[in-house]
């Protein structure tokens, strides 16, 4: 099987919906992105969905539960362990076993990768969004791949190491400024950019809490905001629990993020998150 295909004739030619992000945001409610990790080592579900049949079952479940976007990652970003680099061919091998069938489920698929080659291949296979946990700052080719295919991109804040002494909101803003310069210079349309403060990435637990509490300040960029607090370690710091028992904390964080201005929520627990969002919206409109 050839895993690496040239971009010409595939990603460029395949029809991408130029207004995908606008259409999602026009739903007028928070957008829910369900997480599928086809990895052996993800911090909360590593190994559970490495088997293609289990991965597809989970993809179907995420879609059936009502996710607006299916986010598939084949390399753990390992927010708490330092990334174990996965070679391009291995990342694509893991994805190849699930991506076509996942795309066929009919929900836009975002590809969680920091590598241009993987992104180009996944876009050619039908992925519709690129989710880069290094905000286009790790692989210098990734911005061009995104620009050429005209798809939305999620720019997430990240740091090599947490530094408790810094002003995390200033650091996030400066990082977004650099990423936006890279994106716009490469020709990515502003209306295709989503910003994400990167909960748990290069941040202390306190800084993750701050980033959620002050997410509203990031509205000054005039771009939609995404937040992914699902099962993350800051929850354990506040209320000790292993990753698979952090649903309550995840939902609390996501509701507050939406109140603060987040438009998209990235979660492992789609049904519960949607229920919480719906109830919160109903209560707000009953005032």
Residues that bind ligand HH2 (CB under 6 A): 35, 37, 39, 42-44, 73, 76-79, 112, 131, 133, 154, 156, 196, 198-199, 226, 228, 266
Residue 278 falls in the annotated catalytic set: no
What residues are paired with 193 via a beta bridge?
153
Specify the residue, 7 or 116, whose C-beta has the smaller distance to ligand HH2.
116
Specify the residue, 224 or 228, whose C-beta has the smaller distance to ligand HH2.
228
Is 3 exposed, middle or buried (CB count within 10 Å of its CB: 0-12, 13-18, 19+)? middle
The least CB distance from residue 231 to ligand HH2, in Å, is: 7
Distance CA 56, CA 51 (A): 9
Distance CA 276, CA 279 (A): 5
Q: Which of 266, 278, 284, 287 is catalytic?
A: 266
Specify the residue, 199 or 274, whose C-beta has the smaller distance to ligand HH2.
199
The least CB distance from residue 228 to ligand HH2, in Å, is: 3
Distance CA 219, CA 233 (A): 25
Strands 69-73 and 31-37 come out as: parallel
Specify the residue, 7 or 133, whose C-beta has the smaller distance to ligand HH2.
133
The least CB distance from residue 193 to ligand HH2, in Å, is: 12
Specify the residue, 131 or 273, whose C-beta has the smaller distance to ligand HH2.
131
The least CB distance from residue 120 to ligand HH2, in Å, is: 19
Residue 97 falls in the annotated catalytic set: no
Distance CA 16, CA 10 (A): 11
The least CB distance from residue 77 to ligand HH2, in Å, is: 3
Distance CA 217, CA 227 (A): 14
Please list the active-site residues.
232, 266
């Amino acid at each position: 099987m050839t895993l690496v295909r040239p971009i010409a004739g595939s990603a460029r030619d395949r029809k991408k919906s130029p207004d995908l992000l606008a259409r999602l945001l026009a739903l007028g409610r928070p957008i829910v992105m369900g997480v599928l990790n086809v990895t052996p080592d993800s911090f909360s579900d590593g190994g559970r969905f490495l088997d293609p049949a289990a991965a597809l079952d989970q993809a179907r479940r995420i879609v059936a539960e009502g996710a607006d976007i299916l986010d598939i990652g084949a390399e753990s970003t390992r927010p708490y362990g330092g990334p174990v680099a996965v070679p391009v061919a291995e990342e694509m091998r893991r994805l190849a076993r699930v991506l076509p069938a996942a795309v066929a489920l009919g929900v836009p698929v975002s590809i969680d990768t920091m590598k241009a080659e993987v992104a180009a291949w996944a876009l050619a296979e039908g992925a519709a969004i690129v989710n880069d946990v290094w905000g286009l700052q790790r692989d210098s080719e990734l911005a061009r791949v995104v620009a050429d295919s005209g798809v939305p991109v999620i720019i997430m804040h990240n740091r090599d190491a947490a530094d408790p002494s810094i002003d995390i909101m200033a650091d996030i803003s400066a990082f977004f400024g650099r990423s936006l310069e890279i994106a716009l210079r490469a020709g990515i349309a502003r209306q295709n950019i989503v910003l994400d403060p990167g909960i748990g990435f290069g941040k202390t637990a306190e800084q993750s809490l701050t980033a959620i509490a002050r997410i509203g300040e990031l509205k000054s960029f005039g771009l939609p905001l995404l937040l992914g607090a699902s099962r993350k370690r800051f929850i354990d710091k506040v209320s000790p629990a292993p990753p698979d028992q952090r649903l309550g904390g995840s939902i609390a964080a996501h509701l507050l993020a939406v109140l603060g201005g987040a438009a998209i929520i990235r979660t492992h627990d789609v049904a519960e998150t949607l229920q919480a969002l719906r109830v919160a919206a109903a209560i707000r409109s009953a005032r």
